[in-house]
Amino acid sequence: MTSHAYLSQLFALDGRVALVTGGSSGIGRGIAGALARAGASVVIVARREAELAATVDELVAGGCRAAWVSGDLSTREGVRAAAEAAAGIYGEPDILVNSAGINLRPPMGEVGEEVWDATMAVNLEAPFLLGERFGPGMAERGFGRIIHVTSQQAHRAFVQSGAYGVSKGGLESLARSQAEAWSAYGVTCNTLVPGFVLTPLNARLQKDPETVAALAARTMVGRNGLADDFAGAAVFLASGASAYVTGHALFVDGGLSVH
């Protein structure tokens, strides 16, 4: 067997269907592109149509199979509508990536009910609802991959975690519960844990060059993360190569969490 054939057997996603929320920007966009280039038919779900169209057009121009659905993941009705629309394009997904998130982070003492509810709806309830919609079908077919993008705040208090940190901690626990429920049926569930990544979600912190430099200095590689840094980890967790990896939090953070 050639090295190319061996690597394809391990990691190729040909014939797989992936649904990626938040796939039109930041880490989600990097993951959507990686899965599509690895052979999956990718449906991206997010809010802004212009960003969705630009992302999909780029992938299609590169020979990938990709489509988009504009959806509101802040309500149960919106999540369900987006899920059905996405499944209607290429069929039921084999891979679900929950990368969509909102970053409302007032200090904990200033978190009101509106911020709390909005954060939990997008960052935690939407992944739960999508898992309930697609996880059982994956189990019936004997293959599935659920990947959640969480945060350092899921594991430690960090730059005023507030409700955001709580939602990501809940998402880590959701991953373990989903892994417990479906891993015996060929459905693995894991999380990717970023460090500080230069994406639109972190635009507020990026306005302070000293903070950006200090965060880079806390890593072991000497820089902050980029969306493309998640490509390899995402393909691994989405592929057959990760069949014995489940309930796991994979840190992609340049060593930031080790300090």
User: What is the pTM (predicted TM-score) of this model?
Assistant: 0.95
Q: What is the pLDDT of residue 211?
A: 81
Residues labelled as active-site residues? 164
Give 217-224's long-range contacts (Cβ < 8 A, gap of 24+).
218/256, 218/259, 219/195, 219/253, 219/254, 219/255, 219/256, 220/254, 220/255, 220/256, 220/258, 220/259, 221/254, 221/255, 222/254, 223/254, 224/195, 224/196, 224/197, 224/198, 224/254
CB atoms within 10 A of CB 200: 11
> What is the Cα–Cα distance from 243 to 240, expressed in whole angstroms?
5
Q: What is the pLDDT of residue 203?
A: 64
Q: What is the pLDDT of residue 202?
A: 65
Determine contact, residues 97/46, Cβ cutoff 8 Å. Answer: no
Q: What is the pLDDT of residue 214?
A: 85
Model pLDDT for residues 91-113, shown as the tens digit of each residue = 999 999 999 999 887 888 888 99
Q: What is the pLDDT of residue 162?
A: 85
Q: What's the distance, CA 191 to chain centroid?
A: 8
Model pLDDT for residues 174-200, shown as the tens digit of each residue = 999 999 999 999 999 999 999 989 877
Using the 8-state DSSP alphabet, how is residue 142 labeled? T
- pLDDT beneath 70, residues of the chain: 159, 201-207
Q: What is the pLDDT of residue 83?
A: 98
